[in-house]
Amino acid sequence: MEDEVDRLVAAWRRERPDLDVEPLEVLSRVSRLARHLDRARRIAFSEHQLEPWEFDVLTSLRRAGAPYQLSPGQLLTQTLVTSGTMTNRIDRLAKKNLVERLPDPSDRRGVLVRLTPEGRDRADQALAGLLAQERAILSELSRAQRAELAALLRQLTAPFDNIPG
Protein backbone atom coordinates (compact mmCIF):
# COMPACT_ATOMS: atom_id res chain seq x y z
CA MET A 1 0.00 0.00 0.00
CA GLU A 2 1.45 3.35 -1.07
CA ASP A 3 0.68 6.72 0.51
CA GLU A 4 1.43 10.36 -0.22
CA VAL A 5 4.68 10.23 1.78
CA ASP A 6 5.96 7.37 -0.41
CA ARG A 7 5.37 9.58 -3.46
CA LEU A 8 7.04 12.59 -1.78
CA VAL A 9 10.09 10.55 -0.75
CA ALA A 10 10.42 9.01 -4.22
CA ALA A 11 10.33 12.47 -5.79
CA TRP A 12 13.05 13.77 -3.44
CA ARG A 13 15.20 10.69 -4.07
CA ARG A 14 14.89 11.34 -7.80
CA GLU A 15 15.52 15.10 -7.51
CA ARG A 16 18.12 15.05 -4.72
CA PRO A 17 19.86 11.66 -4.74
CA ASP A 18 22.71 13.28 -2.80
CA LEU A 19 20.50 13.63 0.33
CA ASP A 20 19.40 10.95 2.77
CA VAL A 21 15.64 11.58 2.91
CA GLU A 22 14.89 8.61 5.20
CA PRO A 23 13.74 10.85 8.11
CA LEU A 24 10.86 12.00 5.89
CA GLU A 25 9.49 8.46 5.83
CA VAL A 26 8.73 8.68 9.55
CA LEU A 27 8.40 12.33 10.42
CA SER A 28 6.33 13.38 7.39
CA ARG A 29 3.87 10.67 8.35
CA VAL A 30 3.84 11.87 11.96
CA SER A 31 3.21 15.42 10.73
CA ARG A 32 0.37 14.34 8.42
CA LEU A 33 -1.13 12.22 11.19
CA ALA A 34 -0.97 15.20 13.55
CA ARG A 35 -3.02 17.25 11.08
CA HIS A 36 -5.63 14.46 10.83
CA LEU A 37 -5.70 14.18 14.62
CA ASP A 38 -6.12 17.93 15.00
CA ARG A 39 -9.09 17.84 12.61
CA ALA A 40 -10.65 14.90 14.50
CA ARG A 41 -10.18 16.71 17.82
CA ARG A 42 -11.82 19.87 16.52
CA ILE A 43 -14.81 17.83 15.33
CA ALA A 44 -15.13 16.02 18.67
CA PHE A 45 -14.88 19.26 20.64
CA SER A 46 -17.20 21.29 18.43
CA GLU A 47 -19.92 18.67 18.84
CA HIS A 48 -19.87 19.66 22.53
CA GLN A 49 -19.48 23.41 21.91
CA LEU A 50 -15.88 23.45 23.13
CA GLU A 51 -12.70 24.92 21.76
CA PRO A 52 -9.51 22.84 22.08
CA TRP A 53 -8.16 25.16 24.80
CA GLU A 54 -11.43 24.82 26.74
CA PHE A 55 -11.15 21.05 26.57
CA ASP A 56 -7.55 21.25 27.86
CA VAL A 57 -8.52 23.30 30.92
CA LEU A 58 -11.69 21.33 31.70
CA THR A 59 -9.97 17.96 31.40
CA SER A 60 -7.06 19.13 33.55
CA LEU A 61 -9.59 19.83 36.28
CA ARG A 62 -11.47 16.58 35.59
CA ARG A 63 -8.28 14.48 35.86
CA ALA A 64 -7.52 16.09 39.23
CA GLY A 65 -10.31 14.00 40.76
CA ALA A 66 -12.99 15.11 43.19
CA PRO A 67 -13.56 17.92 43.99
CA TYR A 68 -12.15 18.69 40.49
CA GLN A 69 -10.22 21.79 41.41
CA LEU A 70 -6.72 23.17 40.92
CA SER A 71 -4.93 26.42 41.53
CA PRO A 72 -4.33 28.64 38.51
CA GLY A 73 -0.61 27.82 38.88
CA GLN A 74 -1.32 24.10 38.63
CA LEU A 75 -3.43 24.74 35.52
CA LEU A 76 -0.53 26.72 34.02
CA THR A 77 1.79 23.77 34.53
CA GLN A 78 -0.62 21.35 32.89
CA THR A 79 -1.64 23.50 29.92
CA LEU A 80 1.67 25.28 29.22
CA VAL A 81 0.25 28.80 28.81
CA THR A 82 1.14 32.12 30.42
CA SER A 83 -0.58 33.39 33.54
CA GLY A 84 -2.33 36.16 31.58
CA THR A 85 -3.65 33.64 29.09
CA MET A 86 -4.84 31.37 31.89
CA THR A 87 -6.62 34.22 33.66
CA ASN A 88 -8.44 35.03 30.43
CA ARG A 89 -9.35 31.38 29.90
CA ILE A 90 -10.68 30.98 33.43
CA ASP A 91 -12.76 34.16 33.00
CA ARG A 92 -14.26 32.87 29.76
CA LEU A 93 -15.02 29.42 31.18
CA ALA A 94 -16.59 30.97 34.29
CA LYS A 95 -18.89 33.09 32.09
CA LYS A 96 -20.05 29.86 30.43
CA ASN A 97 -20.67 28.30 33.88
CA LEU A 98 -18.11 25.56 33.20
CA VAL A 99 -15.79 26.52 36.08
CA GLU A 100 -16.04 28.61 39.23
CA ARG A 101 -13.47 30.46 41.31
CA LEU A 102 -13.32 29.71 45.03
CA PRO A 103 -11.13 31.12 47.80
CA ASP A 104 -8.16 28.90 48.58
CA PRO A 105 -8.57 27.86 52.24
CA SER A 106 -4.81 27.41 52.59
CA ASP A 107 -3.91 30.82 51.09
CA ARG A 108 -6.07 33.85 51.86
CA ARG A 109 -4.91 35.63 48.70
CA GLY A 110 -5.20 32.57 46.47
CA VAL A 111 -8.05 31.08 44.51
CA LEU A 112 -8.95 27.62 43.32
CA VAL A 113 -10.63 26.87 40.02
CA ARG A 114 -13.32 24.21 40.31
CA LEU A 115 -15.17 22.38 37.59
CA THR A 116 -18.93 22.94 37.73
CA PRO A 117 -21.30 19.99 37.18
CA GLU A 118 -21.97 21.33 33.67
CA GLY A 119 -18.23 21.60 33.03
CA ARG A 120 -17.73 18.03 34.21
CA ASP A 121 -20.50 16.73 31.94
CA ARG A 122 -19.16 18.65 28.97
CA ALA A 123 -15.60 17.40 29.59
CA ASP A 124 -16.78 13.79 29.95
CA GLN A 125 -18.88 13.93 26.78
CA ALA A 126 -16.15 15.60 24.75
CA LEU A 127 -13.60 13.03 25.95
CA ALA A 128 -15.88 10.18 24.87
CA GLY A 129 -16.27 11.83 21.46
CA LEU A 130 -12.54 12.36 21.14
CA LEU A 131 -11.78 8.73 22.01
CA ALA A 132 -14.24 7.55 19.35
CA GLN A 133 -12.48 9.75 16.77
CA GLU A 134 -9.06 8.49 17.88
CA ARG A 135 -10.18 4.84 17.81
CA ALA A 136 -11.24 5.35 14.20
CA ILE A 137 -7.83 6.79 13.33
CA LEU A 138 -6.10 3.77 14.89
CA SER A 139 -8.54 1.18 13.55
CA GLU A 140 -6.11 -0.18 10.94
CA LEU A 141 -3.69 -1.29 13.67
CA SER A 142 -3.96 -4.36 15.87
CA ARG A 143 -3.72 -4.00 19.66
CA ALA A 144 -0.11 -5.24 19.51
CA GLN A 145 0.75 -2.75 16.75
CA ARG A 146 -0.79 0.11 18.74
CA ALA A 147 1.28 -0.89 21.79
CA GLU A 148 4.45 -1.08 19.70
CA LEU A 149 3.76 2.29 18.08
CA ALA A 150 3.05 3.87 21.48
CA ALA A 151 6.37 2.54 22.81
CA LEU A 152 8.31 3.82 19.79
CA LEU A 153 6.68 7.26 19.97
CA ARG A 154 7.36 7.40 23.73
CA GLN A 155 11.02 6.73 22.99
CA LEU A 156 11.05 9.70 20.58
CA THR A 157 9.04 12.14 22.72
CA ALA A 158 10.38 11.39 26.22
CA PRO A 159 13.59 13.42 25.78
CA PHE A 160 11.50 16.48 24.82
CA ASP A 161 9.13 15.98 27.76
CA ASN A 162 12.01 15.72 30.24
CA ILE A 163 13.95 18.85 29.32
CA PRO A 164 14.48 20.97 32.46
CA GLY A 165 12.89 24.41 32.50
pTM: 0.81
Cα angle for residues 75, 80, 55 (degrees, 5° grid): 65
- Give me the pLDDT at residue 164, please: 65
CA distances from 122 to 17, 126, 132, 164 (A): 52, 6, 15, 34
Q: Is 112 helix (H, G, I), strand (E, B) or coil?
A: strand
For residues 35-44, average pLDDT: 91
51-75 per-position pLDDT tens digit? 999 999 999 999 999 999 999 989 9
28-38 per-position pLDDT tens digit? 999 999 999 99
68-96 per-position pLDDT tens digit? 999 998 998 888 888 889 999 999 999 99
118-129 per-position pLDDT tens digit? 999 999 999 999
Q: Is 108 helix (H, G, I), strand (E, B) or coil?
A: strand
Contact 133/41 with Cβ under 8 angstroms? Answer: yes
Q: Which residues contact 119 (CB under 8 A, 6 or more apart)?
A: 58, 61, 93, 97, 98, 99
List alpha helices for the chain, DSSP H.
4-15, 22-46, 52-63, 72-79, 83-95, 117-137, 143-161
- Give me the pLDDT at residue 81, please: 87
What are residue 48's phi and psi, to 5 degrees? Answer: -115, 20
